Structure 1
Amino acid sequence: MYNEIDSDFITHSQVPMASLARQMIEQAWDLYCQLDAQGNLIYASGRFNEVIGCVPEQVEQIIEAVDSDFRLDVYKLFVHTLQTKTSSKLEFRAKGAGEVHLWMECTAIPFCDEKGEIKEIAFALQDRTRHKNQENRLLAMALHDPLTGLPNRRLFKEQLNQLLQQAKRTNRTFALLYVDIDDFKIINDTMGHDIGDAFLQEFVSRIQGCLREVDMFARMGGDEFTILLPAVDCQDHVDAIAQRILACVDRKWEVQELSFRSTVSMGITMYRSDQIDATQMMKEVDIALYQVKGKGRNHYQFYDHDLPIDTR
């Protein structure tokens, strides 16, 4: 939750800081405040006004700025510092001036007297928002397809495994669809990759219009996509969604002043209580998709669970 820092605590003789010393400390961190051993606010630097919209006079004003999900962690950081008399760090989210969301890294520093008893605790904070946003952007790039913005194969597999674990606990069924664009290579080869990319982006927009917010639409690569439909009541429900997808794709496409038609083929499988793992489900939709392709494409096929499947 927080990281202890290997450093000696500061003695109480250092607590009454001269003005120059306090200015040096405040320049080292974006925000700085001191609390007594009971948690009462003693001092808060003037930059609080710039960052959170006010200079707090009570510790409650600081706590109110901390996101509710992290308030207990901040309290535990204070208690941990009291008990161990060591410095520790904690990263948390807070509400800044103008309702912006900030990420702050807080270093708790104990101030002790000659007997080693804590008299005050300082919270020295650095704004980590830019760094955190960069981390989130890098993570999003690692988990999403750059062309369409959809979850990629890695994120899809994580979500499928989570749904499987949830379904095993709740016995609530879900559906997996494997969607393949028929003859997408012809579009790329005859119209160019720019048209192909623009078509894929428009394709994603159309399919998303057929799905609920809780459904997951992912790009596996090229012209292959997957859809996870959690909490579907029955196969009829999945039938209706599959039919909507076929109908929306079958409408004429207008991409960069070019008009053409396209279709999709889909393999579908439903979760059942004896489902082994994600690998088996992927084999099932692949078999169902292969059957659709063999029958002329532009349709969907549910996997027949009575058929044997090689799970090796």
Structure 2
Amino acid sequence: MNFSRLLKTTSALTSRWLCSGRFQSTSAAAQKLVDVSVDSKTGVSIVSLNRKPVNSLSLELFKEFCGVMDDLESEKVRGMILKSSCDNVFSSGLDITELYPHPDEDRFHAFWLWFQETWIKLYGSSFPTVAFINGHAPAGGCVLAISCEYRIMLPYYKIGLNEAPVGIVAPDWVVNSLKSVLASRKAEQLLTSGRLLDTQEAFDIGLIDKIVNNEEEALARSEEFFSTFDNVPKLARALTKQQVRKNEISKLIKNRSNDAKLFLNHILRPETQKIIGSYFKSLKDRKK
């Protein structure tokens, strides 16, 4: 079985297995956590994260996002721009209530598998992807951004993988995503320090590709990126992209359950829960 077929088969089986359990999708009447529109001028799909106030990444958001990605794949879209509907935040990262205090193991297992599935679908998509980082993008927000092929960011925001200071160890597939964008030494420095970079710093080291001042400019720079593929056959482009990214994706596909188990064991350690609890308290204090 070739890699493209393996990717589709694994994703379909995973979605079927997860949906058969206790964690069903939110009802159609509920507010959409992910909005989709099409730019009338370019035909590009714009996917907006819409879990207010800060797009914290929950089980339900991951499931909805994966459904959107499946739809875009079936529609063979020209390209996708990923952005936020929330003010000043692209995504604040994983919903901390999925990790603390002492998460329910069944829900956490589903949550983590859908996080993996989100990464697989975004990192391995057949169509070109742009992250328009129109707000702060720490931790999981940065993961979504670096899973896209091209990153455009507004000034004065922060981005980075700040898991370590919160007591969390980034999984192997997240580390490899960062190393696919940055040199290994620079990626290691960012991961171990957990430092968040401002827009200019992120541009200077190559974490983002363009700085823009508004959404109109972001759409124009995105179109420039998408147009570079107008004369490239879609299938050849998609298979080439997946060839470049297949090692990281195949590794996770073969190790998904163990990856979830390792992360859960780490999260449940008393010292980890204590650090996350302190961080959670600091977030609550800021809101007062």
Same fold (TM over 0.5): no
Q: TM range, normalised to the smaller chain?
A: under 0.3
Give the TM-score taking structure 1 as reference length. 0.21
- TM-score norm. by structure 2 comes to 0.22
More helix by percentage = 2
Point out the structure with max Rg over C-alpha. 1
Q: Which gives a bigger RCO, structure 1 or 2 (Cα 8 Å, sep 6+)?
A: 2
